[in-house]
Structure 1
Amino acid sequence: MINIIYGLKGSGKTQRIVDAANARAKTSKGCVIYITDQPTHSPYVDNDIRFIDIGKYNITTEATLVAFIEGLLAGNYDITDIYIDGPAKFIKMPIESMENFYKQIELLSAEHSVEFTFTVSAEEVPEYMKKYI
């Protein structure tokens, strides 16, 4: 399953995804992961959540981000949820061009029974993304 939190820059998306991750960490029977390129978010993310500063890795394309996520899933069979704050921002890709990325994530979600939540900076989301809202 994929969930999208969207809105314009400064609309509170990051706080909403942090709050969602923290709430899920209290009920999850497995591992919850939070991925961002902003290490300053760390103090706000519950200590039970695996916090990943993606800026420490060479993740610059859709393919490398998918491969990174696949690596996490391959090495950790207990992951239940992955929260990613602004993937379009750190791979520098417009959301209109990311349909293939979300299709790949859908497959990973189904295959590994992992729920994904993403933030997207946009006033409106592309048609392909509306099913995730």
Structure 2
Amino acid sequence: MICVFCGEKGSGKTKELIRLANEKALTSKGNLVYIDDDSRPSCELKSSIRFISTDDFILKDYKSFYGFLCGILSEDYDIETVFIDGLGNIVKEGLKDAAHLFYNLEELSERYEVDFYININEVEKNVPEFVKKYIA
């Protein structure tokens, strides 16, 4: 499953994603991963959630971000949920260029039974059509 939260910057998406991650940590049988472009949320997450700051990696496009996600999943087969906070901050390409990423995430989700929760700093009416089917 892929679930996208969108809204303007500062609308509370990160707080909601952190709350959701912490909630899932209480009931999840598998591992959880929280990905962000900086380390600010790390101290608000439960210690059982693996936090990864992408500041430590060079993710120049959606193709390299997909490879990054595949590396994370291949390292730990028990990952149940991946939270991606601020996709546009992590990868600087425009959202309109993310169609292949979402297609590949859908395949990863089905094949490895991983849920993806993604925050996007964009109002719903401005997101590309291929993203709209994932909006919560």
TM range (shorter): over 0.9
Question: Can you give the 5+ residue segments of structure 2 that lack an aligned partner in the other structure?
Answer: none
Ranges of 4+ aligned residues in structure 1 off by more than 4 Å? none
Question: What runs of 5+ residues in structure 1 fail to find an aligned partner?
Answer: none
Deviations 1:1-35 (A, max 9, x none): 10001100110011111111111111110100000
Determine the C-alpha separation between the residues in 2 that align with 1:126 and 1:58.
25
Give the distance between the partners of 1:60 and 1:18, measured in 2 at CA: 25
Residues of 2 paired with 1:129 and 1:62: CA distance? 14
Alpha-carbon separation, structure 1, partners of 2:90 and 2:130 = 21
Query: TM-score, normalization: structure 1?
Result: 0.96
Q: Aligned-pair RMSD on alpha carbons? A: 0.9
1:97 partner letter: D
Instruction: Give, as a single letter, the amino acid of the residue that structure 2 aligns with 1:118.
Output: I
Task: State the partner residue of 1:126.
Answer: 128
Distance 1:13 1:93 in 2: 20
The answer to whether structure 1 residue 75 and structure 2 residue 75 are counterparts is: yes
Q: Provide the C-alpha distance between the structure 2 equivalents of 1:80 and 1:47, rounded to a whole number of angstroms.
A: 16
- Tell me by how many angstroms 1:97 deviates: 1.8
Pairing 1:87-106 to 2, within 5 Å after superposition: 87-106=87-106
User: Is residue 62 from structure 1 mapped to residue 62 from structure 2 by the alignment?
Assistant: yes
Q: Which amino acid aligns with 2:65?
A: L
Give, as a single letter, the amino acid of the residue that structure 1 aligns with 2:61.
Answer: T
What fraction of aligned residue pairs are identical, expressed as a percent? 35
Partner SS state of residue 59, structure 1: coil
Residue 86 of structure 1 is matched in structure 2 by: 86
Please give the residue correspondences for 1:2-81 in structure 2 after superposition, counting only pairs within 5 Å: 2-81=2-81
C-alpha displacement of 1:84: 0.4
Q: Which amino acid aligns with 2:2?
A: I
1:15-67 C-alpha deviation (Å, 9 max, x unpaired): 11111111111111010000001211111111110000111111221111111
Query: What is the TM-score when the length of structure 2 is the normalising length?
Result: 0.94
> 3-state SS of the aligned residue for 2:116?
strand
